[in-house]
Amino acid sequence: MGLTIKQIRDNTTRARHLYQRARAQHFAVGAFNIDNQETLIAIAKAAQKLNSPVLVEVSQGEVEAMGLENVRDMVDNYKEEYGIEMYLNLDHSPSVEACKRAIDAGYEFIHIDISQANHDATEEEIIEKTREVVEYAKFTGALVESEPHYFGGSSNVHDEAIDYEEIKKTFSTPEGAAGFVAATGIDTFAAAIGNLHGKYPVPKELDLELLQRIRDAIPCGISLHGGSGTPLHFFEDAAKIGVTKININSDMRFVFRKTLEKVLAEHPNEYAVVKLMPEVYEAVQKVVEEKIAAFGSADRAVI
């Protein structure tokens, strides 16, 4: 249906208040990717059950599959139906133009990721395009997130081990983070401290000492991408240090597919797909609830 500019600005003001609460009360907000309606239902049910604020997010492929405006409408519909505090984030958007379209559509959170489309993009190019999005977002008040270099991995299930010596070469530094935040004016810095996109055969390890130094160096919010496959105690500590937002995708995709395979095998003669899905989104809901508990955001919603 589309939101009025007043509705959009009211929503982004509430989103900014959420960030302020997260910093002051030392909890992180879960940002959960969707690529279908069932996953959105799972997130909404978890948010309602635990009275937690949540971000729903879509990346470029998910936008292309479902539609930018369609996702906006779906999130608004479920937010109203379940009576929850829920916002919408454009995740890893590869271009300024795509970010502007999402800002116009009323997305409260925007992640501009130039290096996603071009791994060899220079920091100067990333800064220039990030600043353009930051300036454009001032009209609605949308919160803008970015990082100064390519962030590795992919939101899938991987068989290979994690090469931490290679990954450490792309770790954020306090000095680099401070310079990038000052140069761009972003609201959220996407930190790289051992977090990596995707689900791997071994648990991830976060450098919490580095995270603390980054937290001390910058005034804005901090996000952790690639949260799947991370032992929950790292999230608990990261939230206490001052991480504002944690992204989860592959853990949800994994349990979605495995549960769907199980349900299909158990009901080979059932062709009404709607009857097969409740067990699937209930399994995804459990994953979301587990993350919310670790992030410390349960009972933090303001409706």
Q: Write the CATH number for 83.
A: 3.20.20.70
Which of 86-90, 169-173, 286-290, 296-300 is least confident? 169-173
In 197-277 the beta strands, taken as DSSP E runs, fall at: 197-199, 221-224, 245-248
Instruction: Indicate whether 144 belongs to any domain.
Output: yes
Distances (CA, A) of 197 to 112, 166, 211, 221, 226: 16, 14, 18, 20, 4
For residues 150 and 263, the model is more confident at: 263
List the one residue out of 39, 38, 18 whose CA is nearest residue 28. 18
Instruction: Indicate whether 302 belongs to any domain.
Output: no
Instruction: Indicate whether 27 belongs to any domain.
Output: yes
| 3-state percent helix, strand, coil for the chain, nearest multiple of 5 | 55, 15, 30
**How many domains does the chain divide into?**
1
- φ, ψ at 301 (rounded to 5°): -70, 145
CB 127 within 8 A of CB 135: no
Instruction: Indicate whether 303 belongs to any domain.
Output: no
CB 55 within 8 A of CB 30: yes
Count the Cβ atoms, other than its own, within 10 Å of residue 200: 19
Report d(CA 243, CA 211) in Å as an integer.
9
- φ, ψ at 246 (rounded to 5°): -130, 130
At residue 64, does pLDDT exceed 80? yes
For residues 117 and 32, the model is more confident at: 32
Please give the residue range of the domain that contains residue 50. 5-295
- What pLDDT sits at residue 154? 62
Instruction: Indicate whether 272 belongs to any domain.
Output: yes
pTM strictly above 0.85: yes
At residue 32, does pLDDT exceed 80? yes
Mean residue pLDDT of the chain comes to 94
Instruction: Indicate whether 301 belongs to any domain.
Output: no
pLDDT bin (cut points 50, 70, 90) of residue 155 is low
Instruction: Indicate whether 300 belongs to any domain.
Output: no
Q: State the amino acid at position 294 in one-letter form.
A: A
pLDDT bin (cut points 50, 70, 90) of residue 92 is very high
Task: Supply the residues annotated as catalytic.
Answer: 91
Report d(CA 31, CA 21) in Å as an integer.
16
Report d(CA 38, CA 255) in Å as an integer.
13
Report d(CA 157, CA 155) in Å as an integer.
7
Structure tokens at 83: 């009576």
For the chain, percent of residues with pLDDT exceeding 90: 83
Report d(CA 209, CA 238) in Å as an integer.
10
| Residue partners of 86: CB distance under 8 A and separation at least 6 | 43, 44, 47, 53, 54, 55, 56, 75, 78, 79
At residue 29, does pLDDT exceed 90? yes
Q: For the residues 151-164, what does the mean pLDDT come to? A: 68
Structure tokens at 49: 């059950």
Instruction: Indicate whether 285 belongs to any domain.
Output: yes
For residues 2 and 63, the model is more confident at: 63
